[in-house]
Amino acid sequence: MHPHKNKWLILSITTLSLSTAMPAFAFDLGTLQNQLSGALQNTLPTAPQTTAPTRNTQNVSGNTPALAALSQSEVGKGLKAALLQGVDTAVSTLGRTGGFNDSPKWHIPLPPALDKASNLMQMAGMGSQADALDASINHAAELAVPEAKTQLINAVKGMSLSDAKAILTGGNQSATDYFKRKTQLPLTQKFLPIVQQSMVKVGVAKTYDRYAQEAAQFGLIKPDQSSIETYVTQQALNRLYQAIGEEEQAIRANPIGTGSALISKVFGAL
Q: What is the pLDDT of residues 8-20, one digit of tens each?
A: 343 344 444 434 3
The answer to whether the beta carbons of residues 118 and 67 sit under 8 Å apart is: no
* Confidence at residue 149, expressed as pLDDT on a 0 to 100 scale: 96
Domain count, the chain: 1
Distance CA(53)–CA(45), nearest Å, equals 22
Q: What value does the mean pLDDT of the chain take? A: 74
* Confidence at residue 265, expressed as pLDDT on a 0 to 100 scale: 76
Query: Given pLDDT bands bounded at 50, 70 and 90, which one contains residue 142?
Result: very high
* Confidence at residue 38, expressed as pLDDT on a 0 to 100 scale: 46
DSSP 260: -
Is residue 212 situated within a structural domain? yes
**pLDDT top residue among 248 and 182:** 182
Q: What is the mean pLDDT of residues 145-174?
A: 89
Is residue 58 situated within a structural domain? no
**Model confidence at 266: pLDDT above 80:** no
* Confidence at residue 47, expressed as pLDDT on a 0 to 100 scale: 42
Is residue 174 situated within a structural domain? yes
pTM value?
0.70
Is residue 200 situated within a structural domain? yes
Amino acid at 91: V
Is residue 146 situated within a structural domain? yes
Q: Over the stretch 80-120, which tens digit does the pLDDT of each residue have?
A: 888 999 999 999 999 999 999 999 999 999 887 776 666 66
Is residue 56 situated within a structural domain? no
Query: Given pLDDT bands bounded at 50, 70 and 90, which one contains residue 63?
Result: low
Amino acid at 132: A
The answer to whether the beta carbons of residues 36 and 116 sit under 8 Å apart is: no
Q: What is the mean pLDDT of residues 219-240?
A: 85
The answer to whether the beta carbons of residues 175 and 252 sit under 8 Å apart is: no
- Helix, strand and coil content of the chain, in percent to the nearest 5, comes to 70, 0, 30
**Model confidence at 206: pLDDT above 90:** no
The answer to whether the beta carbons of residues 91 and 145 sit under 8 Å apart is: yes
Domain containing 231: what range? Answer: 71-268
Distance CA(12)–CA(17), nearest Å, equals 9
Is residue 34 situated within a structural domain? no
Is residue 31 situated within a structural domain? no
Q: Shortest CA distance to 150 belongs to which of 199, 87, 74, 106?
A: 87
Phi-psi region of 219 (alpha: psi -120 to 50; beta: other; left: phi over 0): left
